Structure 1
Amino acid sequence: MSFRPLGSGAAVSGLLLLGALLALLVAAWAVAFALGTSDLDRADARLSSEVRAAAASFSARVGAADARAGSLAASPSLQRAVRRRDRGAAERLVRGRADLAVYAGTELLAGSVPVGAVTRAVRVMARGKSIGRVVAAILLNRALLDRMGAAGRVEPPDRLLVRTGVGAAAIPVGRASDIRISGRRYRIFAERVVDAPTRIVLAAAAPRAGIGEGTGKRTLWLILASLISLATLAFAARGIYSVSGRRLRRAPRRRDVRQVLGLVGDALESTHDPDRLLPVILHASMEATGAAAGVATRGGDEVAREGSFERTGQPLRLELASSEAGGESLALILHPEPTGFDDRTVALAHSLVAQAAVALDNARLHGIVKRQAVTDDLTGLSNRRFFREALATELQRAERFGNALALIVVDIDDFKRVNDRFGHQAGDEVLRAFAETLLGRIRGVDLGARLGGEEFAILLPETDAAGAEGLAENLRAAVADLVVSIGQHEVRITASFGVAAFPEARGADELMTAADLALYSAKRQGKDRVVAVGPEKP
């Protein structure tokens, strides 16, 4: 603000009152903002816990269904029934198992698969050849959602949502976000529970209007005090006008550019997540330019907004051009007061955004370096170091809460022959194809890693030995069906799997040793098979 010199004591008193009011308003805004943010963080944490527990419950059911299908497929009686296409024998074997169906080729022998059910198939083998399959079906109906909600301790007004196909692709996974359902805003946290053949996303949702309701009572007295101060300001301003003989001209409140850049710098020190930096950059740009409102966009989609858009002038669009290196289209759209921005403010905004773009590039590069430190470059899976850290963390969690935890160790059979015959580049293609197959069949909460060479591992939280064995059998069959094109040649591979679980094996080294022993046993028995063995068994 700028004022003409005023010699009157009344004017000085009025200015003091104005300063006190501004301080009070800032304090009220800060308290309300902090309370609302705290409520939102608590809601996000609650929704994350609910959906992860519910997803783990669903995955356990899928694992158990996999195990039942695998057990039936390994039954000699079923293998004879499928080979002879004996419907009566197959129906007797699945009687009382409503979630299982048996096929000989494409012909359904027994059971049924409900439309829309999540399915897991295990091949029926005879003399080394596939003669049919057993399909386990898990129907995602309201009854199952209720059971999953109970496992996740989801209580009203929170609820679980399921989205499939195109609807699932539109929901961000692994982070909190806002969506509209039947015209109402909801805060959700979503996890992918099935990736193929149809993507299925499970989300915990809470009405957005109910988050932060408690802040109203806690800030009521601050608001009342602010209103009283506003009335006092009116009388003070009248006294000032009568002494000065003119109205004070108020300019939009702006921060010094160095202070604004300091805000961005502080945010960069606390996080390198571009999605969290964009709202800070938007707020800082509005502070520097005096904008009444603003929007931050990524790829044309709105990711943050602030201020009131009711009475604004011509908007100013600012491209965060240097972020194009990351393959993103980022922009800020600042809405001024009705009088618009002057040339000096426009130039200031462009300068600020150019420096903010550098901060976003730094955040993006930090993310790349961080991913490279924990990721295997060839396959995109986690590397050995990160896997060992995750194994130690998940073991601590399993011991503390009494949860199940399973480990699968995988080795591609006779991989050296692929390298010797087709070359190391072909071997790399096979490793990448194997990793894609693995990623397509594990949950979002599972961890797939390349331990080195052709050896891989899968860490399965909230999964017991039976569930892990069922997943391993599913992966084994998928790998056996895998065809990798190398020039004019088609390469087929098989893999051997070793399974171990907590608490049968305790400690990271004991669990790894148990899984390795199981893998060696699978190799000795002829490869292309799954073996589960405890640490006490040779």
Structure 2
Amino acid sequence: MTLRARLTAAFLAVVLGPVLIGAVFVGITVSEVSARRATERLQMAQTTVRTTVDAACHELRSAAQVAARTYGGGTAGERAAAAREGVQTGLATAVQVTDEAGVTRSSAGQLPGPWADCAGTGTTSTNRPETLVAKVRMTDRAGHTIGQVVAGTPVDRAFVTRLGSAAGVDVTLLDDGAPVSTETRQQANEVADTALRMRGDQVRATGDGTYVRLVPATVEQPLHLALSSGHSGSEALYAVLIGVVVLAGLIAVGAAWWLANSTTRPLFELASAADRVAGGDLDARVPVRSRDEVGKLGSAFNRMTREMQAYVHALTASRDQLRGNLGLLGDTLSSTHDLDGILTVILETAMAATGAQSGVVLLVDKPDGKYPNQLVARCSDGLDDRARSLSDIRVALGEGLLGAVAQAGEPRRGRVDGIELSPNEPRCRTYIAVPFSGASRATEREDETGPQPGRLRGVLALYDRLGQDDFDDADLGTLRTFAGQAAVAVDNVLLHQETERLSLTDPLTDLWNYRYLRVSLHREVERATRFDRHLSVLAMDLDRFKEVNDTYGHSAGDAVLVAFANRIQQEIREVDLACRQGGEEFVVLLPETDEHGAGRLAERICGAVRDMRVRLPDPGPDGPIDIGVTVSIGVAVYPEHGATGQEVLDAADDALYDAKADGRDIWRVAAVGPRRRHRTRGGGDRAADDFPPAADGWPDGDSGGASRRARPPRQTRGG
């Protein structure tokens, strides 16, 4: 069977099949729904008709009761006019009063027979009544019957129309002769014939599709009626459906023939040209007769054959050049510290060398990262609709394709058929993925904070090779080379970051070290000068720290230093800089803070350290040991206490000596102007100028100012 025949048959099946099935389903559904709605409407109409007839009987009884009361309690004249009183109520068109012997005593209007008595027994006779009547018995005061009153209303077309308006359907009063109906004469006869053959609450359809329900005479409903509801129109609908199916069939046959012919002819020509290209004839061309997708395919084929030779030569030369430059690329990657930039270069070069359409590099996130110990994408190229975004590409170890490669530590290549991919990794047809690990060196610091060197660093993955070919062993070898370069790059960046961190931070307390203090102090002074701001410096020294080391050992001293550093971090702002100057000496830089703010912070730190209890790492013979320490603080502010950063730092150090001399566990503010003494660093003896204190005990009104008394030499440690 040719492709043209298959396309024609498939198009006809796709188009005509649903049309036929839909037409049959619509016809059946419409018929069922029409019958069900008609049945429900007639059932509701039956209840409404009986209610309406019952209401008419109630009105007639009311009119008869009015006449009976007038006759029974009135004079002779009033008795003669009793029937007229009943008619004047408007509830009956005729009233007749008779005595016990049946003699008419009073009447108004005509009551032609036969009658349909509201208190009838429900006979099924089809003799049409002329009048609907209600009878009321008259009694005297002793309760003896003295006659009866009959009130009636004619059962004519107006009465039937009233019933039909109330019920919302057509009503026919059945009769052996011509029925009275709201329908036309012909329709009424057909409804009557159908109803007379029915029993109970059946619903039947007439020949023209009108649904009929019989309402037989019952107690207090003496009329024999038939209810009918509208024409369903099913036959017309069936005719329309058949016409639609026939028309759709004709259109489908013509469209299928045209579609098959216009599609298969260019494909046959394209297949012939492809065979020639497969045989090595790159001059093969196909005629392009349209601008649709098939025409675009032909144009693309012609352009492909024209450019294929140039691409083959260019790709061969490019691959040779890339493989020759791998060594140079490795040297370049090893000398930079921009991790994302390095990984981008590695990925782009790997894609060019292997002919991959897209790729991604994933690294294992640190335990303190957002996705700890998961593969997180760091750079990608050509993914487009293969993944939502780079930030969404993350895979747990052992999950999906990339997670399995990372967990096993072995490279893989092939097709994704039968492989369950993770929801967050890119979609592809073919793949090649290579894990890469760090170098063999390791540090204790890395063991605590991140993936250990020598263990998994990440995965380099490429997808869908150009030309729809699978990746081969040569591509695997190339990708392993690039994975090695990626591992070296990651190791170099991590080592650089760790070295940079260690060069600027104190390894014991994690605070900034003295080198970073000098750089930061110079920078903050320049900033304060430029924006005309204050810069406060707090010089802090733990009191009698040497006694802690001598009594409990250096491990206890280290524990105290760590606890003190943590307490400082809790008290200062994020913009403040806490540094360890050396030993038990610490410095805090407070940008945009004046003397008052610095004094408040110094007071708060003194109190916090005073309340701090440090549990020693080595318990004593009686159990764990908690010790307390205090701190002395010197405060200096730029530019009041110095024109340079070093001068402000020296002023804060002098104020710290004042705090030590005044009894420790306090803070003091440096003196302003020539009163401030200078000393050499190192903790030795210095000159001690004696300044007389102010009347209130503080110099120049500073609440925490420097003492004016002579200062003793500062201890080199633990002072």
TM-score (norm 2): 0.38
Correspondences of 1:400-479 after superposition (within 5 Å): 400-479=530-609
Structure of greater Rg: 2
Pair 1:317-2:454 in alignment = no
Distance 1:414 1:356, change over 3 A: same
Following the alignment from structure 1 to structure 2, what is the Cα–Cα distance between the partners of residues 245 and 330? 36
Q: What CA distance in whole angstroms lies between the structure 2 residues aligned with 1:348 and 1:292?
A: 16
Shift of 1:258: 4.7
Partner of 1:354: 484
Q: Where does 1:55-454 land on structure 2 (aligned, <5 Å)?
A: 249=312, 256-259=322-325, 262-263=328-329, 265-266=331-332, 268-269=334-335, 271-298=336-363, 299=365, 300-310=375-385, 312-322=428-438, 325=442, 326=446, 327-328=450-451, 329-337=457-465, 338-454=468-584
In the superposition, relative to structure 1, how do residues 274 and 236 fare at CA in structure 2: closer, same or farther (>3 Å)?
closer
Residues in 2 aligned to 1:301 and 1:239: alpha-carbon distance in whole angstroms: 40
Change (3 A) 1:414 1:344: same
- C-alpha contact 2:612 2:628 (8 A) present in aligned 1: yes
Q: Is the CA contact 2:543–2:629 (under 8 Å) kept in the aligned structure 1? A: yes
Label 1:267 to 1:517 Cα distance change in 2 as closer, same or farther (>3 A): same
1:156 matched to which residue of 2?
Answer: none
Decide which of 657, 673, 683 is 1:520's aligned counterpart: 657
Change (3 A) 1:251 1:430: same
Q: Which amino acid aligns with 1:333?
A: A
In structure 2, distance between residues paired with 1:443 and 1:388:
20
Q: In structure 1, the residue corresponding to 2:588 is in which secondary structure?
A: strand
Residues 14-68 of structure 1: CA distance to partner in whole angstroms, max 9, x if unpaired? xxxxxxxxxxxxxxxxxxxxxxxxxxxxxxxxxxxxxxxxxxxxxxxxxxxxxxx
Partner of 1:495: 631
C-alpha deviation, 1:239, in angstroms: 8.9
Query: After alignment, is 472-481 or 307-316 more displaced?
Result: 307-316
The one-letter amino acid of 2:376's match is D
Deviation of the 1:430 alpha carbon? 0.9
1:495 is displaced (CA, Å) by 0.8
Matches of 2:346 and 2:574, distance apart in 1: 31
Per the TM alignment, residue 321 of structure 1 is displaced from its structure 2 partner at its CA by 0.8
- State the 1:535 CA deviation: 4.0
Deviations 1:323-363 (A, max 9, x none): 69553343333223353322211111012211331232123
Matched length: 303
In structure 2, relative to structure 1, the CA distance for the partners of 1:404 and 1:425 (3 Å cut) is same
How much does 1:251 deviate? 5.1
Q: Does the C-alpha gap of structure 1 residues 516 and 353 become closer, same or farther in structure 2, counting only changes over 3 Å?
A: same
Q: Residue by residue, what CA displacement relative to the aligned partner does 1:199-230 show, whole Å, maximum 9, x if unpaired?
A: xxxxxxxxxxxxxxxxxxxxxxxxxxxxxxxx
Between the aligned partners of 2:459 and 2:499, the Cα distance in structure 1 is 25
Secondary structure of the structure 1 residue equivalent to 2:603: helix
Q: Distance in 2 between matches of 1:248 and 1:383?
A: 58
The structural deviation recorded for 1:453 is 1.1
* Kept after mapping to 2: 8 A contact 1:433/1:484: yes
Name the CA shift for 1:341/1:440 in 2 (closer, same or farther; >3 Å). farther
Q: Does the CA-based 8 Å contact 2:330-2:485 persist in structure 1?
A: no
CA separation of 1:530 and 1:302: change in aligned 2, threshold 3 A: farther
3-state SS in 1 of match to 2:593: coil
Per-residue CA deviations over 1:341-395 (Å, capped at 9, x if unaligned) read 2221111101221133123212322332333322222222222122112212221
Provide the secondary structure at the position in 1 that maps to 2:589: strand
Q: Work out the CA distance in 2 between the residues paired with 1:365 and 1:530.
A: 41
Could you say if the C-alpha distance between residues 275 and 517 of structure 1 is closer, same or farther in structure 2, counting changes exceeding 3 Å?
farther
The TM-score, its normalising length taken from structure 1, stands at 0.50
Q: Distance between the aligned counterparts of 2:510 and 2:309, measured in 1? A: 69
In structure 2, how many angstroms separate the alpha carbons of the residues matched to 1:315 and 1:477?
Answer: 63
Q: CA deviation at 1:518?
A: 1.8
Q: Distance in 1 between matches of 2:361 and 2:380?
A: 6
The whole-number CA distance in structure 2 between the counterparts of 1:394 and 1:268 is: 35
Change (3 A) 1:336 1:260: farther
**CA-to-aligned-CA distance 1:82-123 (integer Å, 9 cap, x gap):** xxxxxxxxxxxxxxxxxxxxxxxxxxxxxxxxxxxxxxxxxx
State the shift of 1:241 in Å. 5.0
Q: Secondary structure at the match of 1:381?
A: coil
Q: Distance in 1 between matches of 2:505 and 2:351?
A: 38
Q: Could you tell me how far 1:506 is from its partner in structure 2?
A: 1.7
State the Cα distance separating 1:263 from its structure 2 match: 4.5
Instruction: Name the counterpart of 1:82.
Output: none
Quote the offset at 1:480 in angstroms.
1.9
Kindly tell me: are residues 308 and 448 of structure 1, through their superposed partners in 2, closer, same or farther at Cα, counting changes over 3 Å?
A: same
1:139 — aligned with what? Answer: none
Q: For the residues of structure 1 that align with 2:603 and 2:328, how far apart are their CA atoms?
A: 55
Structure 1 pair 526–266 and aligned structure 2 pair: CA distance change class (3 A): same
On the 8 A contact 1:260/1:285 being kept in 2, the answer is: no
Q: Deviations over 1:65-84 (max 9, x none)?
A: xxxxxxxxxxxxxxxxxxxx
Report Cα offsets for 1:167-222 as digits up to 9, x if no partner: xxxxxxxxxxxxxxxxxxxxxxxxxxxxxxxxxxxxxxxxxxxxxxxxxxxxxxxx
Change beyond 3 A, Cα 1:411–1:356:
same
- Aligned match of 2:645: 508
Aligned-partner Cα distance in 2 for 1:245–1:348: 24
1:485 and 2:615 correspond: yes
Tell me the SS of whatever aligns to 1:335.
Answer: strand
Which structure would you say has the larger RCO, counting Cα contacts within 8 Å and 6 or more residues apart?
A: 1
Deviations 1:464-504 (A, max 9, x none): 33333333333222222222111221011111111212221
1:283 CA drift (Å): 3.2
Partners of 2:325 and 2:309 lie apart in 1 by 32
Contact 2:357 2:464 in 1 (8 A): yes
